[in-house]
A = this chain, B = another copy of it.
Amino acid sequence: MKNIRSTIVVLAITLASLTFARAQDPLPSWNDGPAKKSIVEFVAKVTKPGSPDFVPVPERIATFDNDGTLWCEQPMYFQLFFALDRVKVLAPQHPEWKTNEPFASLLKGDLKAALAGGNHAMGEIVMATHTGMTTAEFEQIVKDWIATAKHPKTGHLLTEMTYQPMHELLAYLRANGFKTFIVSGGGIEFMRPWTEQVYGIPPEQVVGSSVKTKYEMRDGKPVLVRLPEVNFIDDGPGKAVGINQHIGRRPIAAFGNSDGDQQMLEWTGAGSGARLMMLVHHDDAVREFKYGAESKIGTFSDALMAEAKEKKWTVISMKDDWKTIFVFENK
């Protein structure tokens, strides 16, 4: 009898502490492994007062790519879904699109033919759908669209195709005094209307590509009109430029997933003191998508992999490091 009681007590204590440990884990969707370890060790180092690696709170800047790092980017960038949906909505106002490429192919549902024109065709589609309205109008268009936009393969809301482990990482860093920024090749005004609600990242902490805008008075009220002219491309070397322009200090942690993030990680890593550079590797064909060096979207070249190894950047295996992939899995 006494033995049984002791056993029960021991069991209860063990269970309680297991539950406690689990509740305490700030990164429950990360499997124990080198990626999780590098995050936890880095945060411990830079937040420990008196440690040689201690970083004051105002300097705890972390930057995140969006497409392929915080949310899915397959079978194509989600912002392109937005552009294609807008082409359909705007088509009645543009009868010329019935014959003009790339719009004609798009409206016939032939995406491949439409995008055969490469960057030029893409640019035409983006400008036709992203400019000509005021910033306030564009914000509302994006808000309305993102509220219901679903993924063609999974049928889930795009905002639930965000990565659960990265949500936990964002929250964990913020709980440790970090300011978290998005630094994405995507449109800055395409992201801002929803990043605060979805990621907890306010508009002023979103850096992205942009078009020029023009201040105008309309009926005695000022508006900013979005012009069909590129202002800034926040990709590749542009990410370092954008970080300097918007944030004005060097991040101590940076997270990406493709060649477009190379310079952001280099720029982050070139500072003195403890640094954390991580690259998400899309290697899970079953739960997400498997792509890398050969992919046109989110290219993770062999050169980037070699640089990551040489510079001791941490490569996150979605397959091995992530217990859960998408936010919707927990719903």
Contact = CB atoms under 8 A, between A and B. Distances in A.
Interface in A244-267: 244-249, 263, 266-267
A240 B263 contact: no
Nearest to A205: B204
A16 B248 CA distance: 46
A203 interface: yes
A135 interface: yes
Contact of A270 (B214, B222, B245): B222
A contact residues, range: 35 or more
Contact of A240 (B188, B215, B244, B248): B215
A221 interface: yes
13 contacts: A61-B204, A179-B204, A192-B249, A203-B248, A204-B204, A214-B237, A215-B238, A215-B241, A215-B263, A222-B263, A222-B267, A222-B270, A224-B241
> Residue among A210, A221, A237, A244 with the most chain B CB within 10 A?
A244
A10 to B, nearest CB: 47
Interface string A261-283: 00100110010000000000000
A213 interface: yes
A58 interface: yes
Contact of A249 (B203, B247, B267): B203
B244 A213 contact: yes
Contact of A222 (B213, B224, B240): B240
Given A204-B179, A247-B204, A240 B224 contact: yes
B244 A135 contact: yes
B196 A58 contact: yes
Interface in A171-230: 179, 188-189, 192, 196, 202-206, 210, 213-215, 221-222, 224
A203 B270 CA distance: 19
A213 B248 CA distance: 13
A244 B222 CA distance: 13
